[in-house]
Structure 1
């Protein structure tokens, strides 16, 4: 009787083992089938990807063409003629401006200025001729973010038009403006740069300057002020 039970138990164990083996085989086949499908999907996309790569590799390089276009634009801009200036009108304006500087007619000088003006421009201009580094550093901190406008210009007039700048303005003729000024291309006017080293002996010559933007707009001349 015991022998029969042992035989039955062995048969059951064998059947379970066979069943497990079949399940594993089916699972393995399923995984292989899935992997094969993924691989086939990748292969099916390869020609498309390859074509994309080929197209990218053979796209025309337009960088050189664009540089040539920019070069032509620059050359065209350089060939644009200067906007004509009524030199008689400019001379009349500049002579009057010089007379008002000479005679200290502050209201008349202020009348032709454009505001606001960054105060730091006058700080760097002063350093260009007095070479006082400590004073420059103090004033740089003080005036770095300060603007001179219609409300405070009278208070800072002498700061703007110091004796050195007045002398330089009076030494500059209309012919100098027309000869050395940079003409505008789109309106009557010019930019003139005052370098103190061009007017006097400087112990620390540098390229700091004060710039006058002399423009004719709304039937009259104006002066904007900038610097470097």
Structure 2
């Protein structure tokens, strides 16, 4: 009888240990999932209007006192006006993020308008904190993004016309080019209040201080004179 009781206790103990192990795995999965997907701070209240006058440093912005919140904190005007595309790349991005609309703080979304001159482009770049979904308002765009090294840097491209929609996954290098003979316009939403942007050529050849031309020459498999020429081109900030 005593032996049977001991066996039952051991069996029960093993079941409890398995249950605990499963719970630990689920907890760890939940934690890692939240770390993976929570690029922006999640809202814990109805609104958290950014207080840009606060000296407190947090991931995002400190909330303004709700008694001081007005409709203006959720408003922006002027997105109907075309931007000046008279630059070297022939495009201009008008950003509407938490810096323009403080009410976007913790809401995980922002907006841009992109104007393209004929033959203009929004050169290869990446958004480290947001996926982009773009809609063509006017014109014809050739767009694409590049998959990571593990997927052989495969290029995914599409020609878009008025009303077409295309998605650029978070973190991947992407671009748009106006292949029409008239100006083009696009509106894009991003899954972050501040998705950030890293323009590849500007970052690689125009960093301050500059990346060593020895490093870049080896990385791009070209002569250092080519790198020096490119760095001279991109070191002049607009």
What TM-score range do you get, normalising by the shorter chain?
under 0.3
Structure 1 or 2: more strand by fraction: 2
Q: Which has the larger radius of gyration?
A: 1
Normalized against structure 2, the TM-score is what? 0.24
Looking at both structures, which has the greater relative contact order when contacts are Cα pairs under 8 Å and sequence separation is at least 6? 1
TM-score, with structure 1 as normaliser: 0.25
Specify which structure has the higher proportion of helix. 1
